[in-house]
Amino acid sequence: MNRNLILSFILLFFLQSCYKEIVYEENPFLIKQQELNFTELRLLDPVVSLGTPARLKAVVSGDSLIFSWSAPEGIIQGEDTIAYFHHDVEGHYLVVCEVTDKYGASETREVMVHVTPELVFTGLKAELDTIPENYKISVEAIASGEELEFEWHSNGGILEGEGKTVNFISHSPGTFTISCTVTDLAGESQTTEIVITVVQGFIFSKLVASPDRVAAHQNSYLTASALGNNLSYKWSCDPPAVLLGEGPSIIFNICHADIFTVTCIITDDLGNSQSKSVVITVTDL
């Protein structure tokens, strides 16, 4: 009798232990600790002119992170993952970032920033490098130095504005080269260029459903991304479903499970058309 009682207690203890382990592993509210991982201290501007801020970015992941930015010389201003360093004297300067998580773990990374009195012209940055006709974009000269002057040229299209940022537009398709010459107070000049491709009609870049897998009665949000002027949007679904809204963004909903193909046809004012489709999978509740 005593032996059976003992075996019963052992079996009960074993079953309880197994039960607790299963609950622990499948508990959807279980919050797992994310380890601190400081991948890189990225120097976005390795060389800057005197007094011009150098941008730095901490590439890091973890729980409830605290950032401590420092520099033995110069001025450092940091907010979370981004910091700005500048100095009024030529030289190479150390910048340090220490990151600490909620569990007390910490990691440190450091980089050197080069500050120079010379003109620094990194390059040109355009909003897009391929655009449709009659679509305006901005182009920026990434440069630092004293009392800079900017001179812009293009082998076609139209440039609007002055200074470090201008607008570009073309009324006809083609490949266009935009150049900019930057001159500083000392008379030093540097020139760089960028190529912009202009296509006829419009650009239908993508059609996205978010999410593309839903339960019955749940919404999926669809967005058609296109560049152009005076565009019209026509939406359809096979098999039929509820499509709410108009224009480039709509809402999909249905009351039963199935696989649905949603199509968007975009047409411009000249009659040019393009279409894209996306599949949405609907499951039972």
For residues 79-104, average pLDDT: 94
Sequence letter at residue 64 = S
Residue 166 sits in the same domain as residue 225: no
Question: From CA 257, how far away is CA 202, in angstroms rounded?
Answer: 36
Task: Among 101, 116, 131, give the residue marking a domain's end.
Answer: 116
- CATH number for the domain that contains residue 56: 2.60.40.1080
In a domain, 273, yes or no: yes
Residue 42 sits in the same domain as residue 106: yes
Residue 108 sits in the same domain as residue 124: no
User: Which residue from 210, 180, 181, 205 is spatially nearest to 274, judged by alpha carbons?
Assistant: 205
Please tell me the predicted confidence (pLDDT) of residue 3: 54
8 Å CB contact between 191 and 204: no
User: Cα Rg for the chain, rounded, in angstroms?
Assistant: 29
In a domain, 70, yes or no: yes
Show the domain range for 226. Answer: 203-283
Residue 75 sits in the same domain as residue 104: yes
In a domain, 190, yes or no: yes
In tens, the pLDDT along 254-264 reads 999 999 999 99
Residue 69 sits in the same domain as residue 132: no
Residue 217 sits in the same domain as residue 244: yes
In a domain, 24, yes or no: no
Q: Largest alpha-carbon pair distance within the chain?
A: 104
The secondary structure of 163-211 as a DSSP string is TTEEEEE-SS-EEEEEEEEEE-TT--EEEEEEEEEEESS-EEEEEEEES
Give every CB contact of residue 226 below 8 A, 6+ residues apart in sequence: 202, 203, 204, 205, 248, 266, 274
Please tell me the predicted confidence (pLDDT) of residue 75: 94
Residue 243 sits in the same domain as residue 263: yes
Structure tokens at 155: 């082998």
State the total domains in the chain.
Answer: 3
Structure tokens at 285: 């509740």
Task: Among 83, 116, 149, give the residue marking a domain's end.
Answer: 116
Question: From CA 135, how far away is CA 55, in angstroms rounded?
Answer: 31
Residue 99 sits in the same domain as residue 156: no
In tens, the pLDDT along 155-193 reads 999 999 999 999 999 999 999 999 999 999 889 999 999
Question: From CA 69, how far away is CA 105, in angstroms rounded?
Answer: 16
In a domain, 2, yes or no: no
What is the sign of the dihedral through the CA atoms of 33, 39, 41 and 43? negative
Burial of 134 (0-12, 13-18, 19+ CB in 10 A): middle
In a domain, 22, yes or no: no
Q: Provide the H-helix boundaries in the chain.
A: 2-26
User: Which residue from 171, 173, 169, 150 is spatially nearest to 158, judged by alpha carbons?
Assistant: 169
Residue 214 sits in the same domain as residue 268: yes
Phi and psi, residue 136, nearest 5°: -95, 135
In a domain, 23, yes or no: no
Task: Among 176, 199, 222, give the residue marking a domain's end.
Answer: 199
Answer whether residue 31 shows pLDDT above 60: no
Residue 133 sits in the same domain as residue 92: no
Residue 85 sits in the same domain as residue 145: no
For residues 48-54, average pLDDT: 88
pTM higher than the cut 0.75: no
Answer whether residue 150 shows pLDDT above 50: yes
Answer whether residue 18 shows pLDDT above 50: no
Please tell me the predicted confidence (pLDDT) of residue 232: 97
8 Å CB contact between 67 and 81: yes
Residue 191 sits in the same domain as residue 228: no
Answer whether residue 26 shows pLDDT above 90: no
Report the mean per-residue pLDDT for the chain: 89
Sequence letter at residue 282 = V
In a domain, 51, yes or no: yes
pLDDT tier at 14, thresholds 50, 70, 90 = very low
